[in-house]
Chains A and B, each alone.
Chain A
Amino acid sequence: MKNFKFATTLTICAAVLLSGCAQNTDAVTPAGASEQVQSTQAENLRTNETWAKAAEKGMSAAFGTLHNAGESKLELERVTDLSANTVIEIHDTEGQGTKAAMKQHEGALLINPGEDVVLAPGGTHFMFMDLKSPLVASQTSTLQLEFSDGSKTQVQFPIRNFSGANESYHGSADEHEDHGSH
């Protein structure tokens, strides 16, 4: 599905795409990105198919594909919720089926040059830890992605209804008992 072979056309394509879609989850080049001397990590990030799972309260998660269009690695250190200020953690999921459990990702999330990290139900994801306001389908959640070089970029996560992604959380046990789904 992912197609990053056409790196040379990327910039042009991004320009075409920037005219925007209704809810643009397509690749977006952060403002100012170009062939200049050294791009920041944020400028080398491309995102695709981003979305967040609707939820009233408790936990939820955001998914999508993160692509490194640059020549050096991206280290995503922090994700912050600009829309509602909910604490966001980067999680991995271990195990499968009913045994699937997730835990916080250790260190920064690494994206090697030219590669993708796919955030998906049952895999790595951005976790809304305790929603400060509901994530309502049809609305959009804006998350800020912050990298190890201090650069940051904002990414839109259109909110959609989704019944899956119910892995349990093996964090601090007390906190998450009643947040069965996310």
Chain B
Amino acid sequence: MTSANLHPSRRVILGGSAAAALGGVFAGFGVGRATADEIPEALAVENPHTQFAAFHGKYQAGILTEPQAHAVFLGSNVHFDGLKKSERIEKIRSILQMLSSDIERLVSGRGVLADTEPEMSHAAAQLTVTVGLGPVILDLLGQSAAEVGALPPFTGEKLDPRYGQSDLIIQCCAQDPTVLHHAVRALRKNLRGITEELFTQTGFTHAAQTVREGQGFRNLFGQLDGTNNPTGQARELAVFGDDQDPSWSPAGTVLVLRRIEMNLDKWDEVDRTGRDFALGRRQSDGSPLSGDSLSDPVDLQAVNAMGLPAIAAHAHVARAKPSSGAEVLWRRGYNYHAENGSGLIFASYQRDPRTSFIPVQQRLAQLDALNEWTTHVGSAIYAILPGVREGEYLGEFLFTAST
């Protein structure tokens, strides 16, 4: 019990506001965050992987956040049987209130109320929990939004309803799998009896600090994935839009969740040249075939020594490359390995899938050299809720409008 991370204390690591400081003094009453008593404060702050993520903010955490090492996507349906419309709405509201309370506690290192193992959340592992609603729930709340309409069918997909659309999505990410799985279990325990789980999709990238932040990850084909993802303000714009052109709600966004099976055994048969050709980038260092370092642009005009296009027209990056700013999406995916296969949990955040994910995926479905080894088996879309201020619960604004 001397291990520093096991001790919640009243010391406050978050911002310097007076309210926060007072809250910290009062942490016995649940406002401060657990932190490491024995760890020198400087260390706790400097190591980005041993921090608590903030719950309150303009946006929900876990969206723009550089992907943590581990993720669980929890999709569940709400039990509505026999309920009147007003009761259904009330049910969604109480679920969002409970989730907000549970999440606020978990990400600050306290267990949820009635937690039987609160110690498991004491370690600061940059846990984020991000909540979204399926289109049916938006409709119920009178908030239907064209941005969150059902995705059209795409050529070649073999969708399994097990990984299909659910009423709720809870994306849980953390640097530490034990902390993550405790959080998932705590959230699920509280949802038991009021929702039914459709899927739990577990994903991983690399242990924190084994890859440089912002450099993507190795997917299960061995490729460096995420190189040409938008960064900084471009990412924020692609995900949330701006004041003139927000997503379905200001500070809200849309999550497209696709489960893509990758045939690793067949991929084994492909040699390096074939692999690099299919992607348009080198497996070795991620550099594009139109250049020789990772940061070189994907140049579709570039030709090789034989005068042929350096990147084939049907290479994945050639087909996926956004043709305009509106097509840019932020891919925040994870590898998965399950009993029934391996692949990519493709999770993209974008302001409006109709101008980004859908046209890009239509192009890829039509022609992409990688398609030979990949199959889309799951698909869902969610309205991700805006962030909340202290004292608010997630989605609160949806209820003041509809009741």
Contact across chains for A137 and B26 when beta carbons are under 8 A apart: no
Which of A6, A137, A160 contacts B25, CB < 8 Å? A6
Of A13-21, A76-84, A143-151, the one touching chain B = A13-21
B339 within 8 A of A: no
Choose one: B97, B104, B192; the contact of A161 (CB below 8 Å): B192
Q: Are A3 and B100 in contact (CB under 8 A)?
A: no
* Given contacts A21-B391, A160-B190, A49 and B113 within 8 Å (CB-CB): yes
Tell me, yes or no, whether A133 is within 8 Å of chain B by CB: no
Contacts of A138 in B (CB 8 A): 91, 94-95, 97-98, 190-191, 194
CB pair B392–A13 under 8 Å, yes or no, is no
User: B393 — which chain A residues lie within 8 A by C-beta?
Assistant: 22-23
Report the interface size class on chain A.
35 or more
Q: Is residue A169 contacting chain B, with contact meaning CB distance below 8 A?
A: no
A139 lies within 8 A of chain B by Cβ: yes
A137: chain B residues within 8 A (beta carbon): 98, 190-194
A12 at the interface (CB under 8 A from B): yes
Residue in B closest to A48 when the chains form the complex, CB atoms: B29
Interface core residue of A1, A63, A140 (most chain B CB under 10 Å) = A1
B390 contacts which chain A residues (CB < 8 A)?
19, 21
**Known contacts being A19-B391, A21-B101, is A139 close to B94, with CB within 8 Å?**
yes
Given contacts A19-B391, A137-B194, whether A48 and B28 have CB atoms under 8 Å apart is yes
B29, A13: Cβ atoms closer than 8 Å: yes
Expressed in whole angstroms, the minimum distance between the Cβ of B54 and any Cβ of chain A is 15
Tell me which residues from 355 to 403 in chain B have a Cβ below 8 Å from any Cβ of chain A. Answer: 388, 390-394
Contact check, B113 vs A13: say whether CB atoms are below 8 A apart. Answer: no
Decide if A27 is an interface residue (CB 8 Å cutoff). yes
User: B104–A21 contact, CB under 8 A?
Assistant: yes
Q: Are B19 and A16 interface neighbours, CB within 8 A?
A: yes
Q: Is the CB of A54 within 8 A of B391?
A: no
**Given A49-B113, A138-B194, A161-B190, do A23 and B100 touch, yes or no (CB 8 Å)?**
yes
Are the CB atoms of B23 and A13 closer together than 8 Å? yes
| A154 at interface, CB cutoff 8 A | no
List chain B residues, Cβ under 8 A from A126. none
Q: Which of B182-224 contact A (CB under 8 A)?
A: 189-194
A13: nearest chain-B partner, CB-CB: B26
Binding site secondary structure of chain A: loop
User: Could you say which residues of chain B place their CB within 8 Å of the CB of A48?
Assistant: 28-30
Q: What is the distance, in angstroms, from B108's C-beta to the closest C-beta of chain A?
A: 12
Q: How far is the CB of B88 from chain A (nearest CB, A)?
A: 13
Pick from B8, B25, B97, B194: contact of A9, CB below 8 A. Answer: B25
With A22-B100, A25-B30, A26-B30 known as contacts, the answer to whether A161 contacts B391 (CB < 8 A) is no
Do B193 and A9 touch (CB < 8 A)?
A: no
- Cα–Cα distance between A108 and B23 once the two chains are bound (Å): 32
A164 within 8 A of B: yes
Any chain A CB within 8 A of the CB of B306? no
Query: Which has the most chain A C-beta neighbours within 10 Å: B101, B104, B189, B390?
Result: B101
**B101-A23 in contact (CB<8A):** yes
Q: How far is the CA of A49 from the CA of B28 in the complex (A)?
A: 9
Q: Name the residue of chain B whose CB is nearest to the CB of A10.
A: B26
Task: State A162–B112 Cα separation when bound (angstroms).
Answer: 11
Q: Say yes or no for B270: interface residue by CB 8 A criterion.
A: no
Known: A16-B19, A164-B116. A27 touches B101 (CB 8 A): no
In the bound complex, do residue A27 and residue B29 qualify as a contact, i.e. CB atoms below 8 Å apart? yes
Interface assignment of B22: CB less than 8 Å from any CB of chain A: yes
CB distance from B82 to the nearest CB of A (A): 13
The complex places the Cα of A13 from the Cα of B10 at a distance, in Å, of 14
Question: By the criterion CB–CB under 8 Å, are B29 and A22 in contact?
Answer: no
A70 CB-CB contact with B under 8 Å: no
Q: How far is the CB of A174 from chain B (nearest CB, A)?
A: 29
User: With the chains together, A174 CA to B222 CA distance in Å?
Assistant: 67
Interchain nearest-CB distance for B91 vs A (Å): 8
| Contact, CB under 8 Å: B26 / A27 | yes
A106–B25 alpha-carbon span in the complex (Å):
35
Instruction: Known A-B contacts: A16-B31, A51-B113. Give 13 more (CB < 8 A).
Output: A9-B26, A23-B393, A49-B113, A51-B114, A136-B194, A137-B191, A137-B192, A137-B193, A138-B95, A138-B190, A158-B101, A160-B190, A161-B190
Chain B residues at the A interface, C-beta cutoff of 8 Å: 8, 10, 19, 22-23, 25-31, 91, 94-95, 97-98, 100-101, 104, 112-114, 116, 189-194, 388, 390-394
18 inter-chain pairs at a CB distance below 8 angstroms, sorted by A residue, are: A3-B26, A3-B29, A13-B22, A16-B19, A16-B31, A17-B23, A19-B391, A21-B101, A23-B101, A26-B31, A48-B28, A63-B114, A137-B191, A138-B97, A138-B190, A138-B194, A140-B94, A160-B190
Top 8 A-B residue pairs of the complex, sorted by shortest distance between their CB atoms: A22-B100, A3-B28, A22-B393, A138-B98, A160-B114, A23-B101, A138-B94, A19-B391
